[in-house]
Structure 1
Amino acid sequence: MLFRLALAMGRTLQELRAALSYAEFQEWCLYYQIEPWGEDRSDLRAGIVASTVANYAGRTRADGAEPVRPADFMPYLDREPPEPLAESQQLTDDELAAWADAAIFGIPPE
């Protein structure tokens, strides 16, 4: 998420870490859940336009063809999600907080 935020704000990771508190970073994460941005969202917008054009310009419902969907034009929609980590490899909440502090504030985890 930190990389997406840095790209969206036009900053380097180092600049973002220097200017962003952990509380504000959490707020940005919550905002992203409500209003996502980035390439996945761009693919959706392009898919909506492409499906609209494909459905209404050059073919009619009388052709009997099923209408195409925005997802038909989204190249990475069908990618496989990564394998979940084994329970022994998953970090606890405290370990995740320590790594977040390290990423944002430069405080090395113990």
Structure 2
Amino acid sequence: MGGAGIDNLSPKEFHEKFSSDPQGVLVDVRTTDEFRMGHIKGAKNIDFYDPSFYDSMQKFDKSKTLYLYCRSGARSFNACAKLKSLGFENVVNMDGGIIQWRGPIER
């Protein structure tokens, strides 16, 4: 468990948890250009740096688990912390980000 009640999981643990959660939402918080270079299958791209990030995230059911990742894990951790403060109950960060991911990548 990471800070602020955020699950901060290794890429392997993150994949196992997300794969067994059909109601979970996978979110890549990197920029559109980063997303196009390669992302985890099924991920929605919502750029943490975009001014509409929080408005976009508010569209998700706050009771569902959100699985966030970025390049290294820092941006997604910050996004998780902010989402927790906005009332999202279950947020999971992939520690190490996509650079530590060993699974398949879509382009």
TM-score scaled to structure 2, two decimals?
A: 0.22
TM-score scaled to structure 1, two decimals?
A: 0.22
More helix by share: 1
